[in-house]
Amino acid sequence: QVQLVESGGGSVQAGGSLRLSCAVSGYTYSRYCMGWFRQAPGKEREGVAAIVSDGWTSYADSVKGRFTVSKDNAKNTLYLQMNSLKPEDTAMYYCAAEPYIRAQKWLAPPEYRFWGQGTQVTVSS
């Protein structure tokens, strides 16, 4: 059974940084597409960043240049380094995994079957 467990959320002032982690267990597929998503109250879940097994990454325009997604395969852990945080980054952040997704859909939540429970990020002005 695939399990994803996020950690690293918290409260930070605007301009600050956080690093989110997503520990993966039970994932036996040879390929992966792993993503970070967020959902603010009253809004739809949106894709933030994704990374695939051959190293390609994708980012939402709103976080390009500020967020970096990476994966440590030895530790089976996905990371999201978030710098220059803004109040509009406040949301519940989720990680997700799927063996294969075509590139145009890497940031599309419906494409992913496996999800974590989320970690809250709050950025104050």
How much is the pLDDT for 5? 98
Contacts of 103 (CB under 8 A, 6+ apart): 56, 58
Alpha-carbon distance 19 to 79, whole Å? Answer: 7
Please tell me whether residue 115 adopts helix, strand or coil conformation. Answer: strand
How much is the pLDDT for 4? 98
Say which DSSP state 33 is in: E
How much is the pLDDT for 103? 93
pLDDT < 70 stretches in the chain = none
Alpha-carbon distance 27 to 64, whole Å? Answer: 28
How much is the pLDDT for 60? 98
How much is the pLDDT for 80? 98
Length of the chain: 125
